[in-house]
Chain A
Amino acid sequence: MAKMMYRDAIRGTIFQEMQRDPRVVVLGEDVVGGMGTAGGPEAIGGIWSTSTGFYEAFGPDRVIDTPISESAIMGAAGGLALAGKRPVAEIMFADFIGVCMDQLWNQIAKFRYMFGGKSVCPAVIRMPCGAGYNAAAQHSQMISQFVTSMPGLKVVMPATPADACGLLRQAIRDDDPVVFLEHKFLYAMTGEVPDDPDFVIPFGHARLARAGEDVTIVASGMMVGYAETAADDLAQDGVGCDVIDLRTTSPLDEEAILDSVEVTGRLVIVDEAPPRCSLATDIAALVANKAFASLKAPIEMVTAPHTPVPFARELEGAYLPSPAKVAAAVRKTLAYR
């Protein structure tokens, strides 16, 4: 085990996989940083510091600094992957998915199905996402709802440094295209990460972050920490919560959710995205459909409102879920008789 930041877990894992497998290549805007300047390559490194040192170690063929051209980045990742490479592409902010949706949605996600199962497209698309930096409507969004809805994509939302490592390694080794949603606010989070260079976390297996028998809280990404904080607070009052960290939203570990709800009968879903057609509504539908008889109270959803992400601190604070909002939802579901 080694203690490290979430961003270093990501950098280190890609680095190790590049060493292990010459097919792994990295591409994205400023992933080298400093190209064509007096400072030279790596003068700064990527803006998230998740590719520092790659260029020096692996050179320009495998560490491809791109112009500002998300459609070309996304499409090239698809092409590299179809041609046998294992691209790890970075879309600097998940919001920029808007620029390159076609290449992800109509191309990468659908190749295998359209081609009758005859193609392999092991592209990893890393997308730093989420709010909390007052970066406003076009640099703060949670896009889990879009990508999770797309058949053909696997979607990962790591909540800890260890998970970032194990899930990213799985993503790179996985033969299907994977969207890897890194919450920007988690980059500085520290935690123990296994040293094993083959440490992988298989997709579709949720993590039980807290155990309790009164209420089930389902969360992913940064929301897991909020749920844990709420659960710890509630534990002081004798309320026990299962906190289920989904880890991957596609595939979804339905069993973990349903098993927990069968015990607790009360469900709170925490989702950073707006409330319509989202992970929250998806999981609520799942539980209403498959664990209806276990439910003792209406399902509570703690989500962003049906608005874009606002700029001002007060507004963004009101927009985002919080541990207090999660705790209030837990209390609300407990109060229902």
Chain B
Amino acid sequence: MGEEAGMQLNREALTRAYRQMKLIREFEERLHEEIQTGEIAGFTHLYCGQEAVAVGVCEHLSERDKIVSTHRGHGHCLAKGCDVTGMMKEIWGSQEGLCNGKGGSMHIADIDKGMLGANGIVGAGAPIAVGAALSNKIDGPDENGKLAVSIAFSGDGACNQGTTFEAMNLAVVTKAPAIFVFENNHYSEHTGDAYAVGTAQDIASRAEAFGMKVWRADGTDFFSVYDTFGEVLEFVRTPGNGPAAVEFDTERFFGHFEGDPQRYRGEGELDRLRATRDCLRKFREKVTGAKLLTDADLDAVDTDALGTIEQAVADSRAAARPQPENVLENVYISY
């Protein structure tokens, strides 16, 4: 692994990556507040703490690359380019939302952006990603000889579903350009990976056992994610290589869902995670330490991201509500 390839990014790319992470953070922090007022309906799972994974992965991708997300999907969606306001409106249940208020937090999608959906069914994403990868394979390499890829984001809980295993094997035997990104945040709902993941908290070894090349990296460090994923991508984009997997060690800063009392956490655990495992803090320390960007540069991004979220919330509050008759729309294309 080259010494921190991500640190070679230019100012513009660094600023963009930071902005994406910050946008996700503020999006989620704001939702955390708003949900407590009761205005937002349904189940919401926040991605706070894991931003470096979504952004470190998606900053490498283009629109022809596809991702399939999870119930904790806001970060993946934003990182893949879904419209912030459209997402916020969706979570607000507006007719103007990305999915017309039909899906909500757990079903945000934007197919044109290569975002094939958040998912309410744990483990459902990986087979879908393999299908999209098989399509990429049929389409063949681009003018540079590289394949488009499809990525399945899965958690330490989802890695226990048979669907995930089947998808991994299918990808291996068909040499599908699929990438299994495992975000190990050490919890599936209220259960620790120490209990639920039989392979000693090591998900990557499972993918390895299926015959895949695997990587492991610190998911709370943008540069570690970015660099590692660059290598994964280089491998999978090369025709004939087939799939690969990468496990990122990461943390979630909020409850499993909003309203989770989190009594399974250790004493002071959240404070410690926020102090030592915060990807935004780490990013700032690294880039200011290396004098790539200044605190003032980053502060300006912070202000901008906050403003974007503020506006998205205001727009969502004012957005058109669905009408009862809308319930019947979108079941089929032709009736």
Contacts and interface: CB of A to CB of B under 8 A. Distances in A.
A317 to B, nearest CB: 7
Contacts of A312: 41, 93-95, 101-102, 104, 321-322
Main secondary structure, interface of B, reads: loop
Interface in B187-236: 187-197
Interface residues of B, number: 52
Contacts of B138: none
A68 B196 contact: yes
Interface in B151-192: 157-158, 160-163, 187-192
A311 B190 contact: no
Interface in B298-335: 321-328, 331
Interface stretch (B12-20, B262-270, B282-290): B262-270
A33 B190 contact: yes
Interface stretch (B26-34, B116-124, B237-245): B116-124
B264 A68 contact: no
B140 interface: no
B42 A134 contact: yes
A47 B190 CA distance: 9
Given A30-B191, A44-B261, A68-B123, A311 B161 contact: no
A65 B264 CA distance: 15
B103 interface: yes
A39 B119 CA distance: 28
Contact of B121 (A47, A71, A138, A318): A138
Contact of B194 (A36, A99, A135, A137): A36
B48 to A, nearest CB: 19
B157 A44 contact: no
A35 B121 contact: no
A38 B160 contact: no
Q: Which of A71, A139, A311 has the most CB atoms of chain B within a 10 A radius of its CB?
A: A311
Choose among A39, A134, A315 the residue with the greatest number of B CB atoms under 10 Å from its CB: A315
B196 to A, nearest CB: 4
Contacts of A37: 187, 190-192, 194-195, 264-266
Interface of A: 29-30, 33-40, 43-44, 47, 65, 67-72, 95-96, 98-99, 133-139, 305-308, 310-315, 317-319
Given A44-B261, A137-B120, A311-B99, 12 more contacts: A30-B191, A36-B195, A38-B265, A72-B162, A134-B42, A135-B42, A135-B106, A136-B106, A139-B43, A308-B331, A315-B327, A319-B327
20 contacts: A35-B191, A37-B265, A38-B264, A38-B265, A38-B267, A39-B265, A43-B190, A47-B189, A65-B191, A72-B162, A133-B43, A135-B43, A136-B106, A310-B327, A311-B103, A312-B41, A312-B95, A312-B321, A312-B322, A315-B327
Closest 3 CB pairs of A and B: A36-B195, A36-B192, A38-B266
